[in-house]
Amino acid sequence: MPSATLQRSHDTRHLTAAAPGTRPTRRGLLAGGLGTAALLGLSACGTGNSASADGGSGGSAWSFTDDRGHAVRLPRRPKRIAFLTDSVGAALWAAGLHPVAATDSGQGIVPAVKPDWSGVTKIYSADKGVRLEALAQARPDLLIDAVQPDGTLQVASQLPEVAKIAPVVGLSTYHSIEQIVGTADRLTGSLGTTLTDGEAKARFQAASTRLRKAIAANRELRVGFVFGIDKNTLGVMNPKTWAVLKTVSALGMNLVPVPGGSANTYSQAVSWENVPSLPADLLVWAVSDPLPDNPLWKRTPAVRAGQLWKPELASWYAYSWENFTVLLDGLATHVHSARAGIGPHSAS
């Protein structure tokens, strides 16, 4: 989830501007301030939303209340849409919305949903981020941006010229998977596009049911989602921040908490000497590659017991029904077979 514009203390990660969208690296996770990485396909928090539009010709009035609580009202339904971030864009690609311009920052987020780039202008460059000239030349009449934790638009707040090109709708990826993808579906439908992810949604809901039943049958099982920060440090993902952890928590999963973590805390940094003390019976390795080759990792009770799973997700930041069905199905299998109580009962 959260990304390259995180300001860190020793033990926890505090979000300062950007959110889910890049694979964590030492540089990315520990860098403070807001640079080009903030113009990748990242994300943030927001509120509820609603949409209204009459008719399908594009000539009727249109409105949509985004995840900032901001209502965008236009005299006619927009037809030429541009995606300003990868994660938000991927959710809309997956729903069936075909833009005239979009970003692909090379993080593997957009390819995860197999987009059709025919007739689409690519507006991201590694040295400049979103290219304003290319965006303007695509002549969009609506822009879709991500929202930062403080409620501002992630790209438009850094490039005020963006809002001069077309009105901006802000979407959040600080909600559960259901909320994120549901919002993308509602926005797509409001723009007159037929949703293409209905069958994928049904599979996601079936996987959710299977996982809920597996959790109910193994209620004492403690699950930790972890990733590698660097060769000396492991990150424990915060259930209050990551979208997928919000989803599985709502299904009843007993997740390893981040002590003192607020809604804007990305993860807890754990030094390798403390990793064997993680109070987890099942570990899920997320986001980063490869798995650790550290002797202390191999001494961790869950790893020693074979209760470790590394999901083969196309991307942890591509918010679509199909992508996260893979995760929920795999979790259901591993939760069902895992034995509770093998991990320590308190972290040292």
Higher per-residue pLDDT: 22 or 239 = 239
Instruction: Say if residue 81 is in the same domain as residue 118.
Output: yes
User: Could you read off the pLDDT of 305-322 as tens digits, one per residue?
Assistant: 999 999 999 999 999 999
User: Could you read off the pLDDT of 30-46 as tens digits, one per residue?
Assistant: 222 223 333 333 333 33
Instruction: Say if residue 260 is in the same domain as residue 207.
Output: yes
- Give the integer Cα–Cα distance in Å for 180 and 135: 25
Q: What is the pLDDT of residue 27?
A: 30
pLDDT above 70 covers a percentage of the chain that reads 81
Asked if residue 297 belongs to a domain, the reply is: yes
Asked if residue 25 belongs to a domain, the reply is: no
Instruction: Say if residue 219 is in the same domain as residue 160.
Output: no
User: Could you read off the pLDDT of 212-253 as tens digits, one per residue?
Assistant: 999 999 999 999 999 999 988 999 999 988 999 999 999 999
Instruction: Say if residue 114 is in the same domain as residue 244.
Output: no
> What's the token pair of residue 37?
């990485």
Q: What is the pLDDT of residue 265?
A: 75
- Give the integer Cα–Cα distance in Å for 175 and 215: 21
Instruction: Say if residue 216 is in the same domain as residue 127.
Output: no
The owner of tokens 């942890």 is: 316
The lowest-confidence range among 56-60, 160-164, 290-294, 315-319 is 56-60
> What's the token pair of residue 202?
């049904």
Asked if residue 303 belongs to a domain, the reply is: yes
Instruction: Say if residue 238 is in the same domain as residue 147.
Output: no
Q: Is the pLDDT of residue 185 over 70?
A: yes
Asked if residue 37 belongs to a domain, the reply is: no
- Give the integer Cα–Cα distance in Å for 42 and 220: 34
Instruction: Say if residue 174 is in the same domain as residue 209.
Output: no
Asked if residue 13 belongs to a domain, the reply is: no
The tally of domains found in the chain comes to 2
Across the range 101-105, mean pLDDT stands at 97
Q: Is the pLDDT of residue 266 over 90?
A: no
- Give the integer Cα–Cα distance in Å for 348 and 278: 8
User: Contact, 197 vs 256, CB < 8 A?
Assistant: no
Q: Residue 251's domain spans which residues?
A: 201-337
Asked if residue 345 belongs to a domain, the reply is: no
User: Could you read off the pLDDT of 131-161 as tens digits, one per residue?
Assistant: 999 999 999 999 999 988 778 898 999 999 9
User: Could you read off the pLDDT of 269-288 as tens digits, one per residue?
Assistant: 999 999 999 999 999 999 99
Instruction: Say if residue 171 is in the same domain as residue 234.
Output: no
Across the range 6-28, mean pLDDT stands at 32
> What's the token pair of residue 297?
């990792």
Asked if residue 30 belongs to a domain, the reply is: no
Asked if residue 231 belongs to a domain, the reply is: yes
Q: What is the pLDDT of residue 9?
A: 31
User: Contact, 70 vs 77, CB < 8 A?
Assistant: no
Q: Which residue among 145, 166, 191 closes a domain?
A: 191
Instruction: Say if residue 304 is in the same domain as residue 172.
Output: no
Q: Which residue among 191, 223, 258 closes a domain?
A: 191
222 φ/ψ sector (left φ>0, alpha ψ -120 to 50, else beta) = beta
We report the CATH number of the domain holding residue 117 as: 3.40.50.1980
Instruction: Say if residue 143 is in the same domain as residue 210.
Output: no
Instruction: Say if residue 249 is in the same domain as residue 182.
Output: no
Q: Which residue among 163, 191, 219 closes a domain?
A: 191
> What's the token pair of residue 144?
């879709």
Instruction: Say if residue 186 is in the same domain as residue 54.
Output: yes
